[in-house]
Amino acid sequence: MSRPTVYCPALFLTAPASNQGKTTITAALARYYRELGKVVRVFKTGPDYLDPQILTQASGQPVEQLDIWMAGEAYCQEKLYLAAQEADLILVEGAMGMFDGEPSSADLAARFGIPMAIVMDVKGMAQTAAALATGLANFRDDVQVAGLIANRCGSERHAQLIRDALPETLPLLASLKRDDSVTLPERHLGLVQAEEVKEELEERFQAAVTWLTETPDNGLLTLPEPVAFYSTIEENAADEPDLEPVLLGKTIGIAKDAAFSFIYDANLIALEKLGAKVVFFSPLNDKTLPQVDALWLPGGYPELHAQALSENHAIRTEIQHFYESGKAILAECGGMLYSLETLTDLEEETYPMLGILEGQGAMRGKRGCQGMQTAELPQGEIRGHAHHRSRSANTPEPVGYGRRQRHPAPGEALYQDKGLTASYLHLFFPSNLTAIGKLFLPSSIGENR
């Protein structure tokens, strides 16, 4: 028997480009409705670690990724369905521009019938903002657009010029004044991690609620119309019927601190589905490893803490012994940089790292690599993405490369040695749970080398 349809108000915040204010406005809405006593579930389109940290703090609820390519339609549909059962409002923040990427934010909104609100920084234009919004709204017939949110509006006269130029079918939902007190802090890979500026974020959220409520004729302060959410999983059926809990009885130690925090909640859930227990440790502060069977060194900002990581000799020695014992270690991006022999930071200072993977890492300013890739590993194909502004040199021969989503050139190198798997790629575990289970079993890595 199929499960019943669930109805929940929902809104998808999109934009013509990046840096229009989507995250600021999504966070402001989440906090506004949370303060009204509503349960707000927020989702982020595409691979992103930093925005979800901000949105989690704003909403008080976990924030997960929705990406049709990385996770699959059925996965996204089930996440929305489960959220609709508990939420008073679902917000989805898009990535880049409305139609950018394959699949795009518009593809996701159209697939699940969620109306889109176009966020646009209107500084320096008036009627042109209306023309751009109208073009976006009418570009595809399968996308429903609820209206325009004019961000950084200079005055009520400015807003009126935009409002008068919009067609009746495309209302001006809100005209939000320029206010630097609500702008979220940033750094070289995007927003600053929420834990680093928790108190400052609270101040900005409160300012953002005032920012919203002081806006005249603000259609955002009324819940949007309910959207129907469905499930493809039969009632009382397991969502992964053939999944073997191969990590049952195993404990995975996960590096988590200011240097390592790029961790999808979906990946933690995936490890638990495989039977594993997860515990966290800090390569910055801890002197000993917890009692674990495998390690995950995720991405983050090791370059900002290279000296402290280098000077924690005790934990470096423990991880080196862990590697020498042949136990499984997964090192992603920043975790891979930590695994190398040395790391040169943004100030061009070089520090010793773990040395469990041959090679040297170095930051390279604003140049970098990003994009969706499939890790073609001996254990199976796992989807993920690259986003880094560093390079590695003198590394060993890889066991494979990432397959880029839309380009024939080889993607990121994939390294395996003893129980170690290392790459610049950030893996999305739910895309292939069977392969992930093998990566955390050292015998599986050895068998496939």
Sign of CA dihedral 194, 82, 220, 35: negative
Contact criterion met (CB below 8 Å) for 262 and 302: no
Q: Which of 8, 76, 333, 369 is catalytic?
A: 333
Q: How far is CA 188 from the centre of its chain?
A: 16
Which residues on neighbouring strands pair with residue 387, listed in sequence order?
Answer: 370
Length of the chain, in residues:
449
Based on the residue annotation, tell me whether 369 is a catalytic residue of this protein: no
Residues in a beta bridge with 195: none
- Helix H or strand E segment including 158: helix 156-165
**C-beta separation of 250 from 277 below 8 A:** yes
* Cβ partners under 8 Å of residue 51, min gap 6: 23, 44, 63, 93, 190, 191
Nearest Cα neighbor of 99 from 147, 44, 136 is: 136
- In degrees, rounded to 5, the angle at the alpha carbon of residue 342 between the alpha carbons of residues 341 and 343 is 140
Report the alpha-carbon distance of residue 449 to residue 204 in Å, rounded.
Answer: 50
Find, among 293, 291, 341, the residue nearest to 316 by Cα. 341
Q: Single out the residue of 51, 30, 61, 85 nearest to residue 223, CA to CA.
A: 30
Give the type of residue at 57. Answer: Q
- Residue 103, preceding bond cis, omega within 30 degrees? yes
Active centre residues (catalytic): 333
